[in-house]
Amino acid sequence: MQFTAQQIATLLQGKLEGNPDAKVTDVAKIEEAVDGSLSFISNPKYAEYAYTSDASIIIVNASLELSKPVKATLIRVEDAYSSFAFLLEKYREIISGAAKTGIEQPSYIASTAKVAADVYVGAFSYIGENAVIEHGVKIYPGCYIGNNVTIKENTKLYSGVKIYDECRLGCRVVIHSGTVIGGDGFGFAPLNDGTYKKIPQIGNVIIEDDVEIGSNTTIDRATMGSTIIRKGVKLDNLIQIAHNVEIGENTVIAAQTGISGSTKVGKNCSIGGQVGMVGHIHIADGTRINAQSGLSKSVISTNTTLNGSPAFEYKSSLKSQAIFRNLPDMQHRLQKLEETVQELTALLSTQNLEYKK
């Protein structure tokens, strides 16, 4: 598709500098842009690319000062990064057919389900008994929606998403392909004969508004009550969230993290990739956990940064790592010190014997 600089400036409410009829057909990074590309500069350290880039249109911050003319048409906005992200979202909606509605066949919708008129349901999808699918929801091909599931306005499920019975999704939730919401929690009681008896998992999963969940993530239903993902949470791909976990508002979690049952994570936390947490602990608001850390106890203080396995305070962990790296040298120095002490002890013993004579 083709857009002019004037159309983009109007959409972003930006100030146009250059040719309003300049046209773009794709988007690109500033260092890779060619004629016909739209790009952006948000960090001043990349300002030099404005003079060398072949991009036709560049979105820049209003505060950016340039020392010489540029050949590209500029659109000045308050925040170039967020403006470019906004355009990418609009572009994605266009190319993905986000505006489509209707029910493709073959698909199955139970007679007791309530589906809004403007919903999109892709082929080979299943919607169970008493499910409620509200205005603007997009369900791409091959999804499963169980009985008594509620999906609120403008939520989007990509192909292959599975939502088990009784789960509830809020407004503007985005769930990527392969994710399973509401599978059984890992609950088994050991018996005297060494076998395990499954504990029925009769709770559900509640996902609040404006949550985004990456591909192949799993969120288990509660044993009783609810596993809860609070509003604004962002989850990466390949995350495991166990039964009765609660994730606080606006927390972000990177790939391959695993959170054990009944753990409560506070709001505005940042959790790196491959972090592991034991069950039944509490993580305070604003906690930052570095990648591959392991938490075995609760974090009480807010806005703490943790590192290592077992995880502890970040600066202390760095000091410990520095000491650990220096252990071979310290061992060598200690051996030399021991040898010196032995030599001095032997010398003193010799001197004492001569003195006694």
Instruction: Report CA dihedral (333, 337, 342, 347) to the nearest 10 degrees.
Output: 130
Do 159 and 126 have their domain in common?
yes
The answer for residues whose C-beta is within 8 angstroms of residue 214's C-beta and 6 or more apart is 176, 179, 235, 236, 237, 238, 239, 255
- Greater confidence (322 vs 258) lies with 258
Residue 352 has pLDDT above 80, yes or no: no
Rounded to an integer, the average pLDDT of 140-163 is 98
Q: Is residue 239 part of a domain?
A: yes
Query: Is-contact 291 273, C-beta < 8 A?
Result: yes
d(CA 154, CA 180): 19
Both 62 and 183 in a single domain? no
- Which range marks the domain in which residue 354 is found? 329-357
Q: Which tokens go with 274?
A: 């491959």
DSSP state of 249: T
Q: Which of 92, 154, 303, 279 is nearest to 289 (CA)?
A: 303
Is residue 197 domain-resident?
yes
Judgement on whether residues 303 and 336 belong to the same structural domain of the protein: no
Q: Is residue 323 part of a domain?
A: no
Both 208 and 128 in one domain: the answer is yes
- Overall domain count for the chain: 3
> How many whole angstroms from its chain centre is CA 302?
20
The CATH number linked to 302 is 2.160.10.10
207 and 272 part of one domain = yes
- pLDDT at 55 exceeding the cut of 90: yes
Segment among 60-64, 120-124, 180-184, 343-347 with least mean pLDDT: 343-347
- Summarised one tens digit per residue, pLDDT across range 65-106 is 888 899 999 999 999 999 999 998 887 777 765 678 999 999
Judge if 289 and 356 occupy the same domain: no
pLDDT digits (tens, 9 = 90+) for 235-255: 999 999 999 999 999 999 999
Same domain, 139 and 61: no
Same domain? For 15 and 112 the reply is: no
Q: End of a domain among 36, 70, 95?
A: 95
Q: Among 95, 126, 156, which residue terminates a domain? A: 95
Averaged pLDDT for residues 143-163: 98
Under 8 Å between Cβ of 309 and 293: yes
Peptide bond into 200 cis (omega under 30): no
Q: For residue 137, which of 171, 166, 165 has the smallest C-alpha distance?
A: 171
Rg of the chain on CA atoms, in Å: 29
**Averaged pLDDT for residues 19-29:** 93
- Among 253, 170, 266, 264, smallest CA distance to 225 is for 264
On whether residue 247 sits in a domain, the answer given is yes
Within 10 A of 5 (CB to CB), how many other CB atoms are there? 25
Last residue in a domain, options 64, 95, 126: 95
Q: Are residues 86 and 35 in the same domain?
A: yes
Same domain assignment for residues 18 and 69: yes
Residue 322 lies in a domain: no
CATH number for 64: 3.40.1390.10
Say if residue 31 is in the same domain as residue 108.
no
Q: Which residues are catalytic?
A: 243
Q: What is the DSSP letter of 119?
A: -
Please tell me whether residues 289 and 345 are part of one structural domain.
no
**Whole-angstrom distance, CA of residue 276 vs CA of residue 242:** 12
What confidence category does residue 318 fall into, taking pLDDT thresholds of 50, 70 and 90?
Answer: confident
Residue 107 has pLDDT above 80, yes or no: yes
Higher pLDDT, 13 or 343: 13
pLDDT per residue as tens digits for the range 4-21: 999 999 999 999 999 999
